[in-house]
Structure 1
Amino acid sequence: MAKCLSSICAVNHVVKNTNFLSGVIAIPARRSLEKEKIDSLEKLSDYSEEEIMKLHGFGKNAMEKLKTYMKEHEVSFKN
């Protein structure tokens, strides 16, 4: 008899109600920020561009989109 996995799935795949950078950068990059507890532009500005580029999901394309978005909101990476 097959075992129901719905309870396991519910525990392992908790969906957070966050829209930070939704539509700006891809999901893998957003998840990496979420794992680092970066959920606002203010927190993002505490990191350097190099630190963010080391995260999974961040490449040249994601970084360019992120920098453009940050510039529009008058926020920048730390130096």
Structure 2
Amino acid sequence: MNEFDSLKGIAKPARRALAGAGYERLEQLTKVTEAELLRLHGMGPRAIEQIRQALAEKGLSFASSS
């Protein structure tokens, strides 16, 4: 079980996309941009928003796109 399985509201396709790309913990997502995650099949804007909120709760954020 990875950390994303415990996040409320993240749809199964998004969780599968994260797992398929090797992401198991929120901290790993601080090294990628939102745009990079949106390229994963099954990942959508709603999932990105939910992950953004979960990151913010831990004082973290996605990598900047610059």
* TM-score calculated relative to the size of structure 2: 0.81
**Larger RCO: Structure 1 or Structure 2 (Cα < 8 Å, ≥ 6 residues apart)?**
2
Distance in 2 of aligned mates of 1:20 and 1:56: 19
| Contact 2:4 2:26 (8 Å CA) reproduced | no
Q: CA RMSD in A?
A: 1.3
More helix by share: 2
Q: 1:24: how far off?
A: 4.0
* TM-score calculated relative to the size of structure 1: 0.70
The one of 42, 52, 66 aligned to 2:27? 42
Number of matched pairs = 62
The equivalent residue for 2:4 is 21
Q: Percent identity?
A: 35
Larger Rg, first or second structure (1 or 2):
1
